[in-house]
Chains A and B, each alone.
Chain A
Amino acid sequence: AQSVSQHNHHVILSEAASLELGCNYSYGGTVNLFWYVQYPGQHLQLLLKYFSGDPLVKGIKGFEAEFIKSKFSFNLRKPSVQWSDTAEYFCAVNLNQGGKLIFGQGTELSVKP
């Protein structure tokens, strides 16, 4: 069955540290890729998405992600995190099945001031 794996369950960083959250999916066909974020007490919201073209995509709040097809990966990065980035981050894949998203387990990010 198709699945999405996020390698880190909980990441703790100090402010200004660099961030990379891993995401791998198991599907050999065309995929559409998303990163969502859930800040404490808030709704899930879209950070960025990739459909085609330049494999490096930029999202909101200084986040970016790189699609590496050969590695089935879509890792999220940010050069310098802030305390306000404390949240849970979800990678999701759409296998061209309408609106159905397959989510990873999520990574909780805690940023220490």
Chain B
Amino acid sequence: KAGVTQTPRYLIKTRGQQVTLSCSPISGHRSVSWYQQTPGQGLQFLFEYFSETQRNKGNFPGRFSGRQFSNSRSEMNVSTLELGDSALYLCASSLARGSQETQYFGPGTRLLVL
């Protein structure tokens, strides 16, 4: 079974631009979560989607948004990019929504904002 896939793998943008990242969960998985990983802040939860609805949101500004489609694929969008948005963005999927579900992580999208 294919794992979680994320596209693109690398991205370079300039301040003020916007970016859309994509995540395809493992087949059959219905829950998708997004995390930001930086050397200074570590891994921080962005949001969680299940059945096309955002179920949980981390402490990030409104410039960070996401959505989930009926096939469980998810996208996250960052508008008006700032230098501090440079990070590895990880997507994780799980079979269902629950605190005991194992989350399977993708390889991430590395975003560099210049």
Residues in A lying within 8 Å of B, measured CB to CB: 32, 36, 43-46, 49, 51, 90, 92, 94-106
B64 contacts the other chain (CB 8 A): no
The reply to whether B43 and A99 form a contact with Cβ atoms under 8 Å apart is no
Choose among A46, A49, A99, A103 the residue that contacts B98 (Cβ–Cβ < 8 A).
A99
The reply to whether A44 and B102 form a contact with Cβ atoms under 8 Å apart is no
Give the complex CA separation of A101 and B55 in angstroms: 13
7 more CB-based (< 8 A) A-B contacts, given A100-B45, A101-B33: A46-B104, A51-B100, A99-B56, A99-B94, A100-B33, A101-B35, A101-B45
- Residues on A with C-beta less than 8 A from B99 are 32, 94-99
Question: Which residue of B is nearest A94, CB measured?
Answer: B99
Please provide the chain B residues from 72 to 114 with a CB less than 8 Å away from any CB of chain A in the complex. 90, 92, 94, 97-108
Q: How far is the CB of B35 from chain A (nearest CB, A)?
A: 8
Choose among A32, A49, A102, A104 the residue that contacts B45 (Cβ–Cβ < 8 A).
A102
- Residues on A with C-beta less than 8 A from B90 are 44
- Residues on A with C-beta less than 8 A from B8 are none
Q: How far is the CB of B28 from chain A (nearest CB, A)?
A: 16
The reply to whether B92 and A103 form a contact with Cβ atoms under 8 Å apart is no
The reply to whether A100 and B48 form a contact with Cβ atoms under 8 Å apart is yes
A-B CB contact pairs (8 Å), 7 listed: A43-B105, A49-B102, A94-B99, A98-B48, A98-B50, A99-B92, A101-B103
Q: How far is the CB of A48 from chain B (nearest CB, A)?
A: 10
B31 contacts the other chain (CB 8 A): yes
B58 contacts the other chain (CB 8 A): yes
Give the complex CA separation of A76 and B100 in angstroms: 19
Question: Which residue of B is nearest A36, CB measured?
Answer: B105
Contacts A32-B99, A32-B100, A96-B99 known; A44 to B105 CB distance under 8 Å?
yes
Contacts A43-B106, A99-B33, A99-B56 known; A104 to B97 CB distance under 8 Å?
no
- Residues on B with C-beta less than 8 A from A95 are 99
